[in-house]
């Protein structure tokens, strides 16, 4: 059976932890997707998918299809960032792009914007609008950032 998600949420968070994995886990908790199993997906938002700005209380352990970019670091003082964006067409599917790196949130967001524009040009589709979320974090001990689009 093939099903299409009907709703999505776009989130971004940065956090610290004693270890990079716990810092990443803290990011997921802050973003509202921490008690689920993320199923990583590529870059297409199904037609008609509606944004849910409040998010949802997923059942613990639920499998949630998610496009995301993340990075972690243990380099004290390092600036890390992640961004995710969705390009929307007039009457078809959307395209999701994400980026994470050792940069500012502004730089990560600009890269995502460039990739969305390129993705629509590659498809020969008109780009109606974009929605981008980004986050940055200055590492203290073990830091992480994540930017994600969760679909259900």
SS3 call for 17 = strand
98 is catalytic: yes
pLDDT digits (tens, 9 = 90+) for 75-84: 999 999 999 9
At residue 30 the predicted structure's pLDDT band, cuts being 50, 70 and 90, is very high
Q: Where are the domains positioned within the chain?
A: 7-151
Return the pLDDT at 89: 96
pLDDT digits (tens, 9 = 90+) for 55-81: 888 999 999 999 999 999 999 999 999
When the candidates are 3.30.830.10, 3.30.70.100, 3.50.20.10, 2.60.40.1080, the CATH number that belongs to 7-151 is 3.50.20.10
Cα–Cα distance list, 129 to 91, 113, 151 (Å):
12, 11, 19
Return the pLDDT at 54: 86
Among 73, 98, 134, 136, the one annotated catalytic:
98
pLDDT of 9 over the 70 cut: yes
Among 18, 42, 53, 90, the one annotated catalytic:
42
Among 6, 37, 106, 129, the one annotated catalytic:
37
Q: Is the model's pTM score more than 0.85?
A: yes
| DSSP bridge pairs for 148 | 11, 68
**CA–CA separation, 32 vs 56, rounded Å?**
8
CB 121 within 8 A of CB 138: no
């Amino acid at each position: 059976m093939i099903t299409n998600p009907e709703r999505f949420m776009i989130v971004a968070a940065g956090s610290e932890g004693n270890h990079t994995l716990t810092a990443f886990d803290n990011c997921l908790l802050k973003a509202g997707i921490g008690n689920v199993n993320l199923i990583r997906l590529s870059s297409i938002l199904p037609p008609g998918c509606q944004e849910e700005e409040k998010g949802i209380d997923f059942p613990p352990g639920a499998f949630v299809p998610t496009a995301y970019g993340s990075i972690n670091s243990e380099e004290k003082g390092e600036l890390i960032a992640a961004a995710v964006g969705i390009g929307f067409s007039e009457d078809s599917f959307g395209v999701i792009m994400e980026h994470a790196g050792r940069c500012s949130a502004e730089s990560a967001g600009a890269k995502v914007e460039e990739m969305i524009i390129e993705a629509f040009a590659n498809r020969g589709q008109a780009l109606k609008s974009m929605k981008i979320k980004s986050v940055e974090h200055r590492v203290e001990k073990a830091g992480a950032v994540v930017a994600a689009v969760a679909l259900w």
